[in-house]
Amino acid sequence: MTDLETRGARPGAATLRRAAPALLGYAAVRALGLLTLALWSAARDKSAYTLLTARWDSLWYTRVAELGYGYQLRLPNGDVHSDLAFFPLLPWLERLLAALTPLSYADAGFLVALLASLAAAWGIFAVTDHVYGRTESGADHGPAAGGGRVGLYAVLLWAVLPVGIVQSMAYSESLFTALAAWSLYAVLTGRWMTAGALASLAGLTRPVGLAAVAAVWVAAIASLARDRRAAPGGTRTTTPVLGMLLAPVGAAAYVLWVGHHTGKGPLGYLDVQAGWRNGFDGGYAFARFVADKFTSFPSAMAGVGLIVGVGLVVRLYVVCVRQGQPPPLLVYAGVVTALALCASSYFGSKPRLLLPAFPLLLPLARALAGSRPRRSVLVLGAVAVASAGYGAFWLNGSGPP
């Protein structure tokens, strides 16, 4: 077993205390974003709460929560948008909360997002602090280590992302990120059944649950290979295998159910996605979308921005590899990034689809932890203000995020 696996996980209460500054900072950033959205929306005579809970994808989730699956919308161009494209865990939770409380389905979705975003922030801190923080003996790991500082900055960077407002929407990104982050933490600490169970739930949340499953599989296979080399012919644990078997159950169960429900077999879910003109084409459609921006000067500036943004994402991933991030984090971030950038539709949503890829932020978090605290705080404060303004502008626009 690796050093990461044998490094003891702190008790829950102690971990929470260690993460408290990061969670408080996260809550402050999100409060700033929500306040800015409320003021901006009021100035435009719009309801900020409606933007957060009752537009775009959130409407599809609440419809599933209230009425179950079976609704589809046929567009004038012949496309068929089916609610089967939306995975069931978020609407299940909305239905549960609505049944147990006076909350509406939309209110329940908002509450799930708020709680899940805090759980995600805690999970991001736990993963980052486990990899780059101190061991229980107090030894630092790496030049950028500083106790919980790297974890603190990782959480704050995730909070101040330009599309961070999505973390407070009745969308599934926060729920998925929470499940994926804690699944990765369970992998890093050798809790294979927990890792598999959380990856399975992540697979019931979004199609990108494949990333969490892949991380569990890669880590489990590596652990089994190490055990075999360490004790040839000896007794080996089967727990990693059980985690591997459990991880894909959620996604597989839903995809197979959709295939049965539609009568189109195991690949029925792909047909559902095709109705939304969404699929995986290796990035060809996105490349064409970017190229089309260069037909005029104003749109060419947007095209340059897109190229720079994609280049930054790729660069961050390369740095993650060079800095020796644990393979489960690299696999997870790589799959999330590939699925986001290589999807064939909804190009304006790509920043949101990248939101769960938090390991990409760890090189920046290490750099901030190695800088002077005053400078890091000033940088993050300025970015938080800009992010709050952009989020308010973005949600008050015409298209779905």
Q: The whole model's pTM is what?
A: 0.92
Q: Which of 253, 202, 247, 254 is nearest to 221 (CA)?
A: 247
In a domain, 312, yes or no: yes
What's the rounded Cα separation, in Å, for the pair 209 and 215? 10
In a domain, 128, yes or no: yes
In a domain, 31, yes or no: yes
What's the rounded Cα separation, in Å, for the pair 258 and 180? 23
Q: What is the per-residue pLDDT for 233?
A: 58
Q: What is the per-residue pLDDT for 6?
A: 39
Whether 323 contacts 367, CB under 8 Å: no
In which domain, by residue range, is 46 found? 3-395
Quick one: tokens of 89? 């865990």
pLDDT confidence tier of residue 142, bands split at 50, 70 and 90: very low
In a domain, 400, yes or no: no
In a domain, 85, yes or no: yes
In a domain, 401, yes or no: no
Sign of CA dihedral 30, 31, 32, 36: positive
In a domain, 258, yes or no: yes
Buried b (16+ CB within 10 A) or exposed e, 194-216: bbbbbbbbbbbbbbbbbbbbbbb
What's the rounded Cα separation, in Å, for the pair 181 and 174? 10
Question: How do residues 144-200 score in pLDDT, each as one tens digit?
Answer: 344 489 999 999 999 999 999 999 999 999 999 999 999 999 999 999 999 999 999
What's the rounded Cα separation, in Å, for the pair 36 and 34? 5
* HSE (side-chain half, CA atoms, 13 Å) at 124: 35
> With pLDDT > 90 as the criterion, what percentage of the chain qualifies?
74
Question: How do residues 59-117 score in pLDDT, each as one tens digit?
Answer: 999 999 999 999 999 999 888 999 999 999 999 999 999 999 999 999 999 999 999 99
The number of folded domains in the chain is 1
Q: What are phi and psi of 87, to 5 degrees?
A: -70, 155
Q: Which of 250, 190, 242, 194 is nearest to 219 (CA)?
A: 190
Question: How do residues 283-307 score in pLDDT, each as one tens digit?
Answer: 888 888 888 888 877 788 888 988 9
Query: If you search the block for the tokens 């089994």, which residue do you land on?
Result: 224
